[in-house]
Amino acid sequence: MEFKSRWGAAASPLYYMYAPESKAGLKDEGGKAARAAGALFRILPGFSNRLLGRLFYRYLA
């Protein structure tokens, strides 16, 4: 820390978040539309998934 303090840096605490280890603690929030979309994306070819991802990313993120 001495090296960084000579450069004018200030110490600050780091906060971490951890995901659960198993999927048992995760809640499935997918409705009928989400399940249908997931099934559709699994059967579509990769190039169409990339195109749809580029088109809809701004609305979903």
Q: What is the pTM of this model?
A: 0.39
State both tokens at 57: 């990313």
pLDDT of residue 28: 62
Q: Does residue 34 sit in helix, strand or coil?
A: helix
pLDDT at 2: 73
Q: What pLDDT, on a 0 to 100 scale, did the predictor assign at position 43? A: 93
d(CA 2, CA 9): 10
Tell me the C-alpha distance between 41 and 33, whole Å. 12
**Do the Cβ atoms of 43 and 36 come closer than 8 Å?**
no
Token pair listed for 14 = 């780091």
* Mean pLDDT in consecutive groups of 10 residues from the start of the chain, 61 residues: 76 82 62 84 90 85 67
